[in-house]
Structure 1
Amino acid sequence: MAGLLQRVKSKMAIFAHRKARGMLDGEYGSVFKGRSLDFDDLRGYVPGDEVRDIDWKATARHGSPLIRRYAAVRRQTVLLVTDTGRNMAAEARSGEAKKDIAVLALGVLGYLAHRHGDLVGLVCGDSTATRSLPAKGGEAHLERLLGHVDSHTSLDAAASRIQEQLEYTARTIKGRHLLFVVADEIAADDAMAQLLRRLRAQHEILWLTVRDADLAPYPLTGQVPSAEVDYCSVADSALLPWQPAASAAVKAAYTRATAERDAARRAMLRAAGITEGEVAGSGDVITGLFALLERHRRAG
């Protein structure tokens, strides 16, 4: 059985023929190349400096443009933060298991970091426990991280609660890192918003949302499911009969509630200064990560 990292490389190789792999690799490098995440001092602006490096508050106080300078370091640390609760073992919108999409996304970003000489660590868990693996370099280490996520995500796990992993990160992770968070469609609330602002004050954050499965296949496909097929909630294993989803009223209410939750999540992340991307399946991961890195670079 091929290793998880080898599957990631194979997926990236497919896109190499479409010139997307080189673009993705270049996008990662353009975002972080030559820029440490550790602030050093301020100096006066000179022509040719990046506009995104201007410290506008300091500039206003000083009366002339000032540039933020960063300590020169060889490597940065990329911390993969993900949910291994049972919610991530459920189906995504594509019909694949969310955990398979998450492992691919974590693998691609982790492999890009490895290629650029960066260290990669992991924080993962569910509502009852959080585990961390220290940041190191090398493909064998990245394979261990991906294997840990894959083996700990199952329908037998405790419920998902990405807040637990983010709170753990805020409490225990010192220094300034790049956090790559992969989670499902979380709900926005004041406590989560406050936690995200706290994390963003210390770290760079990229966020990838794995989209939930639709309410039921019938409203989308028009094909009535077999009587032998049962759909169950991962939250409590309750039976989810497909018949109510065939109702136009139920479908409309579900669509409206989903749109409202999505809008609230996006607004919360945007207000915290966090760049978010979304993927519905493994086929979206490469292009989704490229778009995510591009938006993060432009947000500067």
Structure 2
Amino acid sequence: MGSLLTAVKSKMYIFTHRRARGMLDGEYASVFRGRSLDFDDLREYVPGDEVRDIDWKATARTGVPLIKRYVATRRQQLMFVADTGRNMAATARGGEIKKDIAVMAIGVLGSLTIRHGDSVALVHGAGDATVALPAEGTENHLEQILRCVDAASITSGPSSLIDRLEYVATHYRQRMLLVVVADELAADDRLAKVMRRLSAQHEILWVQIADAALAGPDAVQGTGLDVAGLEPLVLLLAADPELARSYADAQAQRARSLENILKARGIASTSIGATGEVMTHVFALLERHRRAH
């Protein structure tokens, strides 16, 4: 069996030239700029301090502007929170299997992380089962992570990303960069609640693997669509234009609801429909995160 990480690196080389790879490295480094620190105590604000480091609650109590003081930590930790349920074996927007795009995205970000001396971890699962891989900073460990994601199949349990997110919110207190790799999912109060908890403790990036179009000229048909029993829906939408429009409106509303939850928490996101989009979308995602923080 070939190495998934080697395949990812080969695609990275094909999709980017040296200057672009350097820019991608720079964007990754900027995510952690000034954040490789743990909270220590408070001190009075002096001109030149970062405004974002002001502790507004403590300032309100004392009437004196107070800054959070930090101590350096040796390494940063990036945790992937990934759906490895059966939905990730379905077809994505560009016609590829969703898990293949997830492997590429995780491989790119994981390679950047290790190259910068940081460590990567994974929380994944299907149905009620959550599996956590601890943080390590080696390519062998990243290969193991990629194989866990690649193992998603039509025989996996149901996709339940929100269970994985609630697991992280409950079990991890140390500040990390979370990269959520998600199927398209419904945005509800439960999701809003857990994202509120997670964003208070961690920095978050959201990578959505885009669904295949189920109606219209771009509709993609294939066995992967039937993972969630969607093949009959494709046929119905193709036969009824009004139903297809209603379905498209519902999908757009779902996307807006998720976007609203993420924006409210200041979480940068991207939607990727093919492996060929990964490099440009990851770069843009890191850039948006840097600008937002």
- Is residue 91–residue 224 contact of structure 2 (8 Å, CA) maintained in 1? no
Q: Is 1:68 paired with 2:68?
A: yes
Moved more, 124-133 or 8-17: 8-17
1:206 CA displacement: 1.1
For residues 74-122 of structure 1, give each alpha carbon's deviation from its aligned partner in whole angstroms, at most 9, with x where no partner exists: 1011111100001111011011111001111111111111011111111
1:220 aligns with 2:217: yes
Structure-2 residue corresponding to 1:186: 185
1:188–1:268 Cα contact (<8 Å) kept = yes
Task: Indicate the larger mover: 46-55 or 201-210.
Answer: 46-55
**Deviation of 1:265 (Å):** 0.5
Instruction: Quote the offset at 1:214 in angstroms.
Output: 0.5
Unaligned runs of 5+ in 1: none
Matched, 1:268 2:268: no
CA RMSD of aligned residues (A): 2.4
Assess, with a 3 A threshold, how the Cα gap between structure 1 residues 15 and 34 changes in structure 2: closer, same or farther. farther
Q: 1:41 to 1:295 in 2, by over 3 A?
A: farther
Alignment deviations for residues 125-154 of structure 1 (CA, whole Å, 9 cap, x no partner): 011311111111111111111112112x00
Counterparts of 1:30 and 1:103 in 2: how far apart (Å)? Answer: 23
Letter in 1 for 2:251: T
Give 1:156's aligned residue. Answer: 155
CA deviation vs aligned residue, 1:165-219 (integer Å, no higher than 9, x gap): 1111122224221111100111111111111111122211111111111014xx2
Residue 285 of structure 1 is matched in structure 2 by: 278
- Pick aligned residue for 2:291 from 267, 292, 298: 298
TM-score (norm 2): 0.90
* Structure 2 gap ranges (5+): none
Partner of 1:43: 43
User: SS in structure 2 opposite 1:93?
Assistant: coil
Q: What one-letter code is carried by the residue in structure 2 that aligns with 1:14?
A: I
Residues 22-65 of structure 1: per-residue CA shift (max 9 Å, x gap): 11110010120342252223334444443433444444555555
Identity of aligned residues (%): 57
Q: Is the 8 A contact 2:272 2:281 kept in 1?
A: yes
Q: Confirm or deny: 8 A CA contact 1:193 1:268 kept in the other structure.
A: yes
Residues paired across the two proteins, number: 293
- Summarize the alignment of residues 200-211 of structure 1 with structure 2, pairs less than 5 Å apart: 200-211=199-210
